[in-house]
Amino acid sequence: MATTIGKSVALALVDDDFAGEEMALCVHIVGVERTARVIAASPYGPQGRAMRQ
């Protein structure tokens, strides 16, 4: 859980041919299927110290 934004965050590399910005996907996390959404920018700040909101 990304406590600063109150949401779960996962990182995945997805080929542009398969997923565009804002596209909904299903992902498996520890054997559980979850819905996910592709975002354009990294949710982390430039130095990787804090989550962007």
pLDDT tier for residue 1 given thresholds of 50, 70 and 90: low
Q: Is the pLDDT score of 53 beyond 60?
A: no
pTM of the model: 0.51
Greater confidence (9 vs 36) lies with 36
The DSSP H or E segment spanning 2 is: none
**pLDDT at res. 38:** 84
pLDDT tens-digit series, residues 15-41: 778 778 888 888 888 899 988 888 776
